[in-house]
Each structure stands twice: as C-alpha cells, then as structure tokens.
Chains A and B, each alone.
Chain A
C-alpha cells in the first residue's frame, strides 16, 4: 500500500468521497445563487444583504466555503503529486510540493476565517 501524509484523509477512499460530497454542496450553492440572480435580475444591495443575513443562508455559505477548501485541497494535492514529484524533479520536487501545499493550506485558512468574519461580522 502507498500512503501519503499530505493528502486530505490519508485514505484514497476518504479523499475521493470528500471530493464528491463537496462537489455536490458547491453545485447546490451555485444553483441556489444562480436562481437568486435569475429571479432578481436587477439585484440591489439591500436584497443581497437580506439574503445573506438569513441564518440558513449563512450556514449554507459557510458549508460551501468549507467544501471549497476541502475540494481545492484534494484537487490541488492530486495536481501537485502528478507534476511535482521526486521521480520527475528529484528532491526539488518534494520541497516545491510541500511549500505549495503549505501555501494552499494557508490561503484556504485565511479564506475560511475571512468568510466567517464577513458572514457573521
């Protein structure tokens, strides 16, 4: 068995399932916002603020934000472990991959905290 310490759940199945579940959440959120814009073609700030101030929408938005982070982590981890590997680039590949993954993790963490601040601020 091959293990990878930097993958989301260290299990292929867990990562695969999380990516599918988060994709469904992101699709639902996109459709929901899409429908809002379709039915409110000349959307005003007040309408937007009213939508986003509802608790169910805040929960849904936070769920979508967390899903985005998980989805992006699994997806980018796959991309990095395809192209930035020891086999292709020597030790440099591992170093670059680790740096990029830490940076991605940091960006996702900032987005999450920032998002919470916007939603509940």
Chain B
C-alpha cells in the first residue's frame, strides 16, 4: 500500500489547509501520479485537481510531488516516491482555490505582458510570411512550452514578486517572439523589459530548468534576452 499525504483545502468548510494521510493500493504497478489521484478520487469524490489530456500535452495537472514540481500524468511513481511515501501539494506560490487547484491569474497576467503573438507591421504577403529553415530552428526549445507553470512556481523570485517579475515561463515565450525572424516589434518588446524586475529578478538558480516537464531551458532564454538588452544599450 502506497502512503499518500495530500494537501486538502476547501474554503467553504475548512478554516485552514491540512495534509490528509491516505493509503492507496497500486497493485504493485508503476502507476503515474495522476492514476493514483484517480484512485483517490474514487475513494473520495470531493478531492479536487485539474487534469485533461493525461499525456503531458495540456499542462493542466502541474503540481508539487515529493517537493518537486511536475506533471502528475507523466510522472511515474518510481521516479518520485521515496520510502513508499508520496506527498502531493499544489503548485507553490499561487493562491489555492481548492485542494490541488491553484489560481493561475498572476501567472497568466505575466504571460499576457510579453504580448505572446507575432507582431509585424509590414504589408501581409499573399500567402504567408516565409522563414528560412535556419531561422525556424531558432524557435526550437521555445515554442514547445505548454504553460503548465511548473517552472515559474518553482522560482523563488516569482514567489516573492509574482506581480513584477515575468517569471521563466513568460520570459521563455518573450524570447520565442524576440527570436522570431518574422516579428518586427523587437525594439518595443525589449523596451518593455528593461526595468529592475521583469527580467533581472532572475538570478540564474535554474530551478525552472530542473523541473520543466518538456525539458526546456528558460534560464538560457533569459540569458539571450539579457544579451539582446545589453547589445541594444551599448
């Protein structure tokens, strides 16, 4: 029997959050954490968490498993369970709505700030804006982000300043458009980032790289943004 300690909080009935201790019969299989949550929900239908695609694409079930953020649907028990114990908590730093469901408004507000869409003020061509294979390659490692918030909510700078620091997820997307050969708003994008908080709260501790379920490297992207800001200013 797997020992599971799970964060529970229902604002309608609980004065404060608590950890619920439960046992789950995994049948000796190396289940995904999401499977364990489904078994738990079978025992207690009041348990709340987000999920959708169950294959690491939608980014809905980001949570903290034994102290490390990740996607429950693609996290096998063998990779996270230590000493037959699984501790499940919501993503850190964001307000909890209920149990493992967090309010991601601040995360999305930062994402919105970077204007994550292509901007081009030249006349639109008849069919499409072409890009060379080399220029297209520059977007690899950037466009794959699924906005699960595992990175930003593992970043202490984002915990303390979620209203002012864009965070690794937003900055990765920011660089995705700064690096896009079809985007013509580079100067405006950089001008909006040159303050003491938006980019420069990143101290390069790489928690974001450590937890990204898609294997992306936001710290590297932030380094590229810094270099672009430096080139622009010197």
Task: State whether these chains interact.
Answer: yes
Q: How far is the CA of A1 from the CA of B195 in the complex (A)?
A: 6
Contact B192 A1 (CB under 8 A): yes
Contact surface of A with B, Cβ cutoff 8 Å: 1-4, 7, 10-13, 15-17, 78, 81-83, 85, 87-88
**Chain B interface, DSSP helix/strand/loop, else mixed:** loop
Q: How far is the CA of A82 from the CA of B194 in the complex (A)?
A: 18
Give 22 pairs: A residue, B residue, CB < 8 Å, sorted on A. A1-B191, A1-B192, A1-B193, A2-B198, A3-B195, A3-B196, A7-B196, A11-B196, A12-B193, A12-B194, A12-B197, A12-B200, A13-B194, A13-B229, A15-B196, A15-B200, A16-B200, A78-B203, A82-B156, A82-B157, A85-B160, A88-B160
- Besides A15-B200, A82-B161, 6 other A-B contacts (C-beta < 8 A): A2-B164, A3-B195, A12-B197, A15-B196, A16-B226, A82-B160
B160 CB, min distance to chain A CBs, angstroms: 4
B180 CB, min distance to chain A CBs, angstroms: 22
Contact surface of B with A, Cβ cutoff 8 Å: 156-157, 160-161, 163-164, 191-201, 203, 226, 229-230, 233
User: Which residues of chain A come closer than 8 Å to B163, judged between CB atoms?
Assistant: 87
**Chain A interface, DSSP helix/strand/loop, else mixed:** helix
The answer to whether A1 and B198 touch (CB under 8 A), given A13-B229, A13-B233, A87-B163, is: yes
Q: How far is the CA of A7 from the CA of B161 in the complex (A)?
A: 15
Contact B196 A2 (CB under 8 A): yes
B43 CB, min distance to chain A CBs, angstroms: 38
Q: How far is the CA of A87 from the CA of B229 in the complex (A)?
A: 28
B204 CB, min distance to chain A CBs, angstroms: 11
In the complex, the 9 A-B pairs of residues with the closest C-beta atoms, listed nearest first: A12-B200, A82-B160, A12-B196, A7-B196, A2-B197, A2-B195, A1-B195, A2-B164, A4-B196
